[in-house]
Amino acid sequence: MAQAYRAETGSRGSGAARSGSRLRRLRGDWRPDRGSLRRGLVLAFFAVVLALVMAVHSYIPNAVGNLGSLIETFLPWLGLGVPLLLLLGFARKSLTAVVAVVLPAAVWVNLFGSLVFDKAGTGGDLTVVTHNVNAGNPDPEGTAHKVAASGADVVALEELSPQAMPAYKRALARTYRYHTVEGTVGLWSKHPLSDSRPVDIKMGWTRALRTTVNTPQGDVAVYVAHLPSVRVKADAGFTAGQRDNSAEALGIAIRDEPVEKVVLLGDLNGTMNDRALAPVTSQLRSTQGAAGDGFGFSWPAGFPAARIDQIMVRDVEPEASWTLPGTDSDHLPLAARVSL
């Protein structure tokens, strides 16, 4: 019995000793000696570069292939570099690399940390929806019914084709008594509309309109816009020149708008971070940034990677902003509730 007891305790003692030895080796691997400080200098360099790209993105020139705007379109995704560099730092057992990753992490949190939390309130006088329905949508009537089911007071649709227009009008007529269509964009409303007209955004055909929605709380100028598409080409980079010109024209129209309360709904083919949209974004607030839950990415519908559809306001208080379930379009519908 005594021998068995000694054998058992001896076994336990040797197990504890082995565990202690492993812990000492692990601590030894991470002790900040000269070798661990030299390891991972390349990773630390990339961490600093990542932090700088995010921190000074507005200074990256657009002269060559609109590189600055391209980076800004997908700017939140640069945060994926933080856990990647952290894992590589641990794999290299480099204290320098791990500490350096704190820098891009802090910059990302400063830029986008507020978007992670739900800021939605419970108030609101008006619910608005915008949706690029896709000209090739195989089920326009079904798409219209899904959008109307959101309970929105005002619905803006972009990329309306002449062939599908009757289906949208028929499907939305029961819910929305008033509507206006200009070119390939339209607006449906439960409240009366007045002073509806096209907006020239320098495209050669109509892809924007403005109208006054006469709500019980007062008049609201509502703009619906579909700015030109952008492409990434190997020989030309981020081709966004026509979109940028249209953004400037839309910004001028909003600047000259006499009605104080303004809501912009539409597919701007750009994000709030893109400096090329400054003629518009400098005048209006994003409902997602003010009262959204998450990033609210809207495109492409299958794997949303960017919020290129926008709901923006002036002299109107955002209460909530969210994405709606997908339709047969390649964009997700967006909704917002605002107080007038």
- Give 14 or 243, the one with higher predicted confidence: 243
- On whether the CB atoms of residues 51 and 79 are closer than 8 A, the answer is no
Neighbours of 318 (CB within 10 A): 24
- On whether the CB atoms of residues 112 and 76 are closer than 8 A, the answer is yes
Measured CA to CA in angstroms, residue 208 lies from 29, 161, 198, 267 at distances of 62, 14, 6, 10
Q: What is the pLDDT of residues 60-71, one digit of tens each?
A: 998 888 899 999
Q: Return phi, psi of residue 334, to 5°.
A: -115, 145
Q: What is the pLDDT of residues 259-308, one digit of tens each?
A: 999 999 999 999 999 999 999 999 999 999 999 989 999 999 999 999 99
Instruction: Go through the domains of the chain in sequence order and give each one's CATH number.
Output: 32-113 (no CATH), 126-339 (3.60.10.10)
- The per-residue pLDDT for 196 is 98
Measured CA to CA in angstroms, residue 328 lies from 137, 140, 299, 309 at distances of 6, 8, 13, 16
Is the pLDDT assigned to residue 8 strictly greater than 50? no
- The per-residue pLDDT for 64 is 81
- The per-residue pLDDT for 10 is 47
- Give 162 or 2, the one with higher predicted confidence: 162
Give the Cα separation of 197 and 205 in Å (integer): 14
The DSSP-derived string for 60-116 is S-STTTTHHHHHHHTGGGGGGHHHHHHHHHHHHT-HHHHHHTHHHHHHHHHHHGGGG
Residues 6+ apart with CB under 8 A from 128: 152, 153, 154, 155, 156, 222, 263, 265, 311, 335, 336, 337, 338
Q: Tokens 């939390």 identify what position?
A: 117
Split at pLDDT 50, 70, 90, the class of 27 is: low
According to DSSP, residue 221 is labeled E
Q: For residue 168, what are its two tokens?
A: 């949208």
Average pLDDT, the chain: 91
According to DSSP, residue 306 is labeled B
Q: Calculate the dihedral angle through the C-alpha atoms of 245, 250, 251, 257, rounding to the nearest 10 degrees.
A: 160
